Structure 1
Amino acid sequence: MNAKPRISILFVCLGNICRSPLAEGVFRSVVTEHGRAADFMIGSAGTGAWHVGNPPDPRSIDIARRFGVDISHQRARQVEAADFNRYDLLLGMDRNNVQTLRQRAAGGTLGKIHLFLDYANDRVIDIPDPYYGGEDGFASVYQMIREASEALLSKFD
């Protein structure tokens, strides 16, 4: 067994309270289900600092819990300069997140930044931000993230 995770992935959205905490929790659940938890270091962060220190949005916590994933312990944080070296992949939930990451990245780390759905399953689409919507938006986002997480894990077989 490897003492150090083989690959490190940071999921990034705007505020780190809706999409990226779900992605962190769901991907962690997927790798655990497949017996691969030791192969990965998984985190999440936001491009903005509005919610630093706060738990995920209650609607994200609720939808995750409905599918047996506990993200209630997570706390929002902002992407920091060290993340570009600490993580092998920085996966933005939407193209704006990716653009912001690329603007903040040092030259040698640009290749680590990708759109989550594009990298995971070759679909160049954004995971929409459900913050201003209803419960159905969170359910839809959960399903997109779950499907993409399975596809992402298959990239490391």
Structure 2
Amino acid sequence: MTEQFKNFLFVCLGNICRSPFAEGLFRELAAQKRPPGLRARSAGLIALPGNSATYMAQQVAAEYAVDLAGHQAQPVSPDLMDWADLILVMEKSHQDSLLNIYPETADKIQLIRHYARYGSRKRGIADPYGLDYEAYRFCFLDIEDAVAGLVKSLKSR
């Protein structure tokens, strides 16, 4: 099923921590693994357009060679939902919110941890916003596990 996916949309609340992590990681890992023609974007359910990734998100991402310095938040929109072949959300509540607004997209929304290599595939990714540096690092590594699993599944098909 994932073999037809080319456009990936990562969604969280504000599009300043989790979904930028996922977008940045996906771009880096996809470039290394070389599945051809894959594109990634991110958005937030309540994003304020133009906001940058938080300072701590940028710092943690930089530790792992992911550059979020140019990130600008954007809200989820009908155009983004149409563009995406697969929409990966951080929490079940995000999926529920998207389904309330865009019920026609039900077949292309999944919890990002569906692709996780370790631990539960049914739990959400905790939001680090307002927490300490270690919470951001844990969040980043949690997302890295799921994104690496996603890229591996794309490469193997």
State percent identity of aligned pairs.
Answer: 31
Alignment size in residue pairs: 150
Instruction: State how 1:8-157 maps to structure 2 within 5 Å.
Output: 8-36=7-35, 38-49=36-47, 51-107=48-104, 109-121=105-117, 123-156=121-154, 157=156
**Stretches of 4+ moved more than 4 A in 1?**
119-122
- Cα deviation, 1:31-76, whole Å, max 9, x if unaligned, reads 111123x421100000013x32111011111001011110111100
The alignment's TM-score, normalised by the length of structure 1, stands at: 0.89
Partner AA of 1:58 in structure 2: Y
> Does the aligned pair in 2 maintain the 1:6–1:39 contact within 8 Å?
no
| Conserved? CA contact 2:7–2:38, under 8 Å | yes
CA contact (8 A) 2:6 2:38 kept: yes
AA matched with 1:46: G
Deviation at 1:145, TM superposition (A): 1.0
Higher mean alpha-carbon deviation, 134-143 vs 121-130, is at: 121-130
Distance in 2 (CA, whole Å) between partners of 1:77 and 1:55 is 10
Letter of the structure 2 residue corresponding to residue 105 of structure 1: Y
Deviation at 1:95, TM superposition (A): 1.1
Amino acid at match of 1:150: A
The letter of the residue matching 1:16 is N
Q: Tell me how far 1:6 sits from its aligned partner.
A: 5.4
SS in 1 for 2:129: coil
Structure 1 portions without partners, runs of 5+: none
SS of the aligned residue for 2:78 comes to coil
